[in-house]
Amino acid sequence: MKTDATSNGPKLNRLREIWSRGGVTLGAIVTSPSISVVQVMARSGLDWIIIDLEHGAIDPKDAHSMIAATGGTPLVPLVRVPERDAWHAKAPLDLGAMGICFPMTTAATDARAAVRAVRYPPHGDRFWGPFYAPLRWDMSMRDYLNRADDEVLAIGTIEHIDALQTIADVVNTPGLDVVFIGPGDLATSMGLKGDRDHPSVHDAIGRLEAAVLRSPVVLGGVAPTVDQANAMIQRGYRALVIGFDWSLLQGGISVAIDGIKR
């Protein structure tokens, strides 16, 4: 879905360029309504963050401030919405998010709805109202409107075992950019309550990975350790969540106090 305006300025969404050359991007999920946390993350080497409106204590007002806090940095702000309904994507996009992560992408109909929610007509159902997005990206309203379809990411989350039967149709949906496999929810949907290390979960993830890698969609997932991240990159992952704001903070504190005698 290229527009004539794509050549009028530098790419806003650097993730597309990195993935187009086979590169790997690293990100984190932010669950706390904290501008300060985002300011630190945006200047710590991450490629992107997902501002979590599904499980986090964040409302649209917080999201606006957090997206604005990424300004002047290379970090790309993405937003996870709480439901698959398209109207949940409107405000985050108009506030400057460069992608929307939709939960429970289980069928091709879900993927098509995700794509249409982040694209303007005739390719989608997003309508006018980006009052703050052009300000975040330092461009005119007209330029933003002309370029948004080429820049904004449509992201699906595979987190239910039912998706195993439909994954080929999901990942071959035109316009879908990224798929994240959520191991915790996947395991829970199998009656295993977040046990991502169960052999049945490993088998399901392997089958999902294979289907995504046969498609044009970028494969994303959760890598809580360095060893897991490196192994996942070898398997073809190109977008890795290395932690949450709370887990990275907790881990940093644990490292800082480890070995101190008191």
Catalytic residue list: 55
C-alpha to C-alpha distance for 116 and 111, rounded to whole angstroms = 9
* b/e code 113-139 from CB counts within 10 Å (16+ = b): bbbbbbbbeeebbbeeebeebbebbeb
Report CA torsion sign: 51, 57, 60, 62. negative
C-alpha to C-alpha distance for 138 and 182, rounded to whole angstroms = 34
What DSSP letter does each residue of 145-188 carry, written as one string?
HHHHHHHPEEEEEE-SGGGGGTHHHHHTSTT--EEEE-HHHHHH
How is residue 48 written in tokens?
A: 């992107």
Helix runs in 29-106, H state only = 35-42, 60-68, 87-94
Beta bridge partners of 77: 49
